Amino acid sequence: MNETKRKIIEAAEVEFAENGYGGASIREITAHADVNVAAINYHFGNKESLYKEMIRNRIEPLNRKRIDMLEKALEENDNFPLPLERIIDFLVRPILTELMTDDGNDFRFLRVIGRGLSEGQTFMKDFHHELLKEIVAKYTAAISDSLRNPGFEKLAYGMHLLSCTILGSMMQHARLEVVSAGRIDLNDVDGLCEQLVAYISGGLRAVTEVEMRGLES
């Protein structure tokens, strides 16, 4: 990535974090990046394309890392099912480590994600599907194998609640300081990962034990 694109993406992340997608100003982004509007048009085309490129710049390398970790562990285990906690750790630790240790620790990109999801822009659903399709498929298969294939409906509920838990903990991370009365360090990535792995793993196991009324399990 050239220097101009890098500066624009960094400035866009600040602006989208502070004002959301709908409220973000291309003029403010150009001012922060010290470029003109023509540079954004040349490199990205429009605001939507800039937003997508900003998200891809962060998320695609993380997805690749998480997929590689999972595939390597499965290969080393002769493709037998992995312990559930290990799979969930692969899923949550890289993204939290990356996104919670930004320079300045202002959790900027977490706020970008939170605002983007809450606004419900029309392009967001398809974009998120495109961005997460491969990693969701691979981790769903690994989790299903680890849980001894509990059935489609139970797995669908489990994966939905897993996603909500991860996204919610990221989007509302600052609330942890309030509910813990300031006794928990918001920058304790390892602590958050350990709690999330335990919580999500326990929840997935609990979902597999729920009787699915009117559905085959």
Q: For the domain that residue 170 is a member of, what is the CATH number? A: 1.10.357.10
- Specify if 192 maps to a domain: yes
- Specify if 73 maps to a domain: yes
- Specify if 3 maps to a domain: no
Q: Which residues contact 145 (CB under 8 A, 6 or more apart)?
A: 81, 82
- Specify if 2 maps to a domain: no
- Specify if 48 maps to a domain: no
Above 50 in pLDDT, residue 31?
A: yes
Q: What is the pLDDT of residue 217?
A: 43
Q: Is the distance from CB of 63 to CB of 132 less than 8 angstroms? A: yes
Average pLDDT over residues 21-29: 94
Q: How far apart are CA 70 and CA 172, in angstroms?
A: 27
Give pTM, 2 decimals: 0.87
- Specify if 169 maps to a domain: yes
Above 80 in pLDDT, residue 104?
A: no
Q: What is the pLDDT of residue 102?
A: 58
- Specify if 21 maps to a domain: no
Q: What is the pLDDT of residue 189?
A: 87
Q: What is the mean pLDDT of the chain?
A: 90
Which range marks the domain in which residue 77 is found? 57-208
pLDDT in tens, 43-93: 999 999 999 999 999 999 999 999 999 999 999 999 999 999 999 999 999
Which has the closest alpha carbon to 161: 121, 201, 102?
Answer: 201
Total of domains in the chain: 1
- Specify if 118 maps to a domain: yes
| pLDDT band, residue 103 (cuts 50/70/90) | low
pLDDT in tens, 118-156: 787 889 888 989 999 999 999 999 999 999 999 999 999
Residue 193 CA from chain centroid, whole number: 13
Helix crossing, 26-33 with 3-23: angle to 10°?
A: 150
pLDDT in tens, 159-196: 999 998 988 887 788 889 999 999 998 888 899 999 99
